[in-house]
Chains A and B, each alone.
Chain A
């Protein structure tokens, strides 16, 4: 079986999107998860719910609203236009924003649970050993939460690779710009090109399987470190 240039392009774009989403999300989700795990603020519940929302909403609903906000009449759309950046809908950067929001709970929750499992004690110990809070965060909390961070990385990456509804809503299906593997498969099926669809679909099944094995191994190691 040979892989067509179109398919390669879709695979490349998918990996690019998943990598970018994962990097951006880890940067956003880590402080957010820390705040959620530590705060006693009354904002904790509503913000926690907001973070979890993408988990329960149909991707089309999410995609619809993101499309509107990024569009010519939307808040962000107006800003990007005023800055001379044009519109982000139907572009890779729009897709990236959609993916980040869509996968937010998959990144925040494992990290938050890891921080909660550590508890307050290690941070208190660090403080009694003269570590200032930011120092204690990087030298104690973050290393102890490593299993949670790894889980978040794997889940975010895999979830982005498997995303379809949001991509279709925000990105359309522009080859080389917004056409990822899942939308490519959809395109093949629409066009009755079952053989090409099979190639990509089987690849996705294998990829997902490998990811789940990796997660299981990760979990086993975590249990050993934090009994």
Chain B
């Protein structure tokens, strides 16, 4: 991962009922998830990067300038070294799977042959589909082919526009492992648009939160998810994500122990080997607070910490409390009444009881 490779984008776009105004510097590696509610301009932003929209502004990918309005420079889409995966299946219906995959090959100058295509076919596990026609494929298979097709042209930047939005739950489950694999092995930066917090927690290295065409936050995924303002915005699904390691597996109880900096939690054992790096997600609604350690409870995951902030939630009955537990910050959603009865205040030592932990990778 080189620090010199960066994405610099600065766009303004005015529409009758919508305006986009962003100025971002993004890491040149890993997946940047662009997150926000419907209509916040996520897809428009991605289309601006691809040159499918014509905003005013500047776009620099690594050391090549794709757009600079002040110099009158605008590279058309076909001259940008990018791969684009659209929301719905966008395979060419008149071509076979293999022909779809090869479409870009002859059109890219200086391509190192079919190596990238072969690697992409392997990465996405689509070798057995090559002779098929797109019509007979499932939504998940189509999207895997679309991703491989984009990677075959050896792009400098991969753009994914809600690649799972048009899939049903079963198909989502089918494609998620492939996307996680893509995340681990991808050598180029990717911008991934979604409105799903689950996808964000699984795949993001960096997060950009958009609201009404403006950047509300841009930062590392753990830091952004524990940001109170973001928790207030996402509502019910607010929660934190942290990375940990499987350190123990209890076969009789079918549980695995995950250690993350200063805390430990037991989660359902899904077969990850000891030593495996995992991401865990803890929702604010699944965390309750207690003044003393309560071992007379069914809740077995307990972590001690110090109250860092107490903030308003969307509903006046509730508040959001951030608790610092070592390097990790947990979020808890509790009622105002409980807060007052227990006399909780910033700086107070507290036990967090975690009802449920989701292993997301």
In order of increasing CB-CB distance, the 7 nearest A-B pairs are A128-B84, A129-B104, A127-B77, A130-B107, A143-B94, A127-B78, A125-B90
Task: Show the binding face of B for A, using Cβ within 8 Å.
Answer: 50-52, 76-79, 82-84, 86, 88, 90, 92-94, 103-104, 107-108, 149-150, 153
Report how far A121 CA is from B76 CA in the complex, Å.
Answer: 16
Besides the contacts A124-B77, A130-B107, what 10 more A-B pairs have beta carbons closer than 8 Å? Answer: A124-B84, A126-B78, A126-B92, A126-B103, A127-B76, A128-B52, A128-B83, A132-B78, A144-B93, A225-B94
Indicate if the CB atoms of A125 and B94 lie closer than 8 Å: no
Indicate if the CB atoms of B90 and A133 lie closer than 8 Å: no
- Whether A131 contacts B78 in the complex (CB less than 8 A), given A121-B86, A124-B52, A125-B86, comes out as yes
Contacts of B94 in A (CB 8 A): 140, 143-144, 146, 225
Indicate if the CB atoms of A130 and B104 lie closer than 8 Å: yes
Indicate if the CB atoms of A122 and B90 lie closer than 8 Å: yes
Indicate if the CB atoms of A127 and B90 lie closer than 8 Å: no
Q: From the candidates B92, B104, B153, name the one contacting A122 in the complex (CB within 8 A).
A: B92
Task: Show the binding face of A for B, using Cβ within 8 Å.
Answer: 121-122, 124-133, 135-136, 139-140, 143-144, 146, 225-226
Contacts of B83 in A (CB 8 A): 128
Closest to B80 in A: A128
Report how far A146 CA is from B93 CA in the complex, Å.
Answer: 12
**What are some 28 contacts across the A-B interface (CB < 8 A)?**
A121-B88, A124-B77, A124-B84, A124-B86, A125-B84, A125-B86, A125-B90, A127-B52, A127-B76, A127-B77, A128-B52, A128-B78, A128-B83, A128-B84, A129-B104, A129-B149, A129-B153, A130-B78, A130-B104, A130-B107, A131-B78, A132-B78, A135-B107, A140-B92, A144-B93, A146-B94, A225-B93, A226-B93
Q: Shortest distance in angstroms between B142's beta carbon and chain A's nearest beta carbon?
A: 12
Among B82, B86, B107, chain A packs the most CB atoms within 10 A around the CB of: B107
Contacts of B77 in A (CB 8 A): 124, 127-128
